[in-house]
Copies of this chain bind each other. A is one copy, B any other.
Amino acid sequence: MPADPVPSPAEPTVHVAPGFPVVGVVGAGQLARMMAPPAVELGVGLRVLAESAQASAAQVIPDAPVGDHRDEAAVRAFAAGADVLTFDHEHVPQPILQALEADGVAVRPPAAALAHAQDKLVMRRRLTDLGVPCPCWRQVATLDELEAFATEVGDVVLKTPTGGYDGKGVLVLPADGPRDEAQRWLAARPDGLLAEEKVPFTRELAVLVARSPSGQAAAWPVVESIQVDGICHEVIAPAPGLDDGTAALATEIGLKLAGELGVVGVLAVELFQTRSPDGTTGVLVNELAMRPHNSGHWTIDGSLTSQFEQHLRAVLDLPLGDPRPRARWAVMVNVLGGDYPDLYRSYLHVMARDPGVKVHLYGKEVRPGRKVGHVTVTGRDLDDVRARARHAAAFITGEIDE
């Protein structure tokens, strides 16, 4: 894509103390919104390129120009008002990122790293080259290729290489099931799809690390994440009963990937925990994200340095903060939109019932299944912490009313 003429930089509208930098975030979802509190505390400037003036982060960040992240001129003009560019999502096209880098914009994570979070085929190839444990996978462009792969591995998970999230872009294909939906997917993406074995995992884990341009890295404890229909529902930090060897292996994978891929900022690695017939446990990498991630929301209340503060520190090449937990256990439960639109009324009751629950809402209107907030509870007794977090989330969404 040829570069558009560079628009003149807009008047700076972020006020910061002299000498302090401005971070520009492409996208104004809840991840950008949750960067606002640590930016306020650190005294660094924040601007977001917003989908709309009412977007989650645009509600709370003064400098939130509305623009399209697929429009090179818009991204370029936006970046001109910031010292570094980072992201709320992975959807900025590679040609735009590369053009900005060619012009000297500090894109963090860099385009070459971000490619692994944008395209699952790129990711699988690279991880396999690096010897990082992955599910069996194959690039398939025809039904014959798909069937050949299914013959080898049994049940197959078919994924669109780009654009999937929260269970979208994923099709589970039992070994002997129908293939008509798969055929439609293949026809729509003649460049090929990613086929993976359906891993018989015991549970899902995630490891979050942060890395700065100067190579400093820090990892939070490995967590367990509980997904329903491909959407994260609950995260327990640290993962209960995880043996030290597996925890160390998962952390090693996170740190290795951050370094090898040249990640800057937060890297989330979603993992399957597996158990072989002899009882030994292992991990396989499921997905990567190069930004703060749902599996790290517990860090706001549960860690000395939250993933949002750490992301800002990392992209600014500030020394990283201590990722140590503040409590023995932290449980985060997502608040998904339900039938009950009046969140304010229900969260008032949750606060009355449990003064220790931390409620985080994203300023969004309720739509069924939409992530509109999360709750976190910390403490010493996992059963108690988990029950309280689940109850609070279910009450806010209106699933239960007592």
B-side contacts of A40, CB under 8 Å = 33-34, 36-37, 60
Of all chain B residues, the one with the shortest Cβ separation from A301 is B304
- Copies of this protein in the complex: 2
Contact B319 A348 (CB under 8 A): yes
> For chain A residues 347-391, which have a beta carbon within 8 Å of chain B?
348, 351-352, 355-356, 358-366, 372-373, 378
Q: A61 to B304: give the CA distance in the assembly, Å.
A: 25
Greatest chain B CB density within 10 A among A34, A39, A41, A58 is at A41
Q: Would B36 and A365 count as touching, CB distance under 8 A?
A: no
Asked if B355 contacts A321 (CB within 8 A), the reply is yes
In the complex, A20→B345 CA distance in Å? Answer: 9
Closest chain-B Cβ to A294's Cβ sits at a distance in Å of 16
Report yes or no: B62 in contact with A60, Cβ–Cβ below 8 A: yes
- Whole-angstrom distance between the alpha carbons of A62 and B14 in the complex? 11
Q: Does A305 contact B (CB under 8 A)?
A: yes
Q: Which residues of B contact A362 (CB under 8 A)?
A: 17, 43
> Which residues in chain A, 28-42, are within 8 Å of chain B measured between CB atoms?
33-34, 36-42
- Is residue A6 within 8 Å, beta carbon to beta carbon, of the partner chain? no
Q: Give Cα A270 to B91, complex, Å.
A: 53
Within the complex, the shortest CB–CB distance from A357 to chain B, in Å, comes to: 9
Q: A40-B36, A61-B62, A62-B64 are in contact. Are A321 and B19 (CB under 8 A)?
A: no
Is A179's CB within 8 Å of the partner chain B? no
Interface size counted on chain A using CB atoms at 8 A: 62
Asked if A341 meets B60 with Cβ closer than 8 Å, knowing A36-B36, A362-B43, the reply is no
Q: Known contacts being A36-B36, A343-B17, A344-B19, is A321 close to B356, with CB within 8 Å?
A: yes
- A168 interface residue per 8 A CB criterion: no
Interface residue A54 (Cβ < 8 Å from any Cβ of B) = yes
Kindly provide the distance from the CB of A352 to the nearest chain B CB, expressed in whole angstroms.
4
The reply to whether B342 and A19 form a contact with Cβ atoms under 8 Å apart is yes
Say yes or no for A187: interface residue by CB 8 A criterion: no
Pick from B21, B304, B326, B351: contact of A321, CB below 8 A. B351
Answer yes or no: A15 CB below 8 A from chain B CBs: yes
Q: Known pairs A37-B41, A41-B361; list 8 more (Cβ under 8 Å).
A: A14-B59, A15-B53, A16-B363, A17-B343, A17-B364, A19-B342, A37-B40, A320-B355
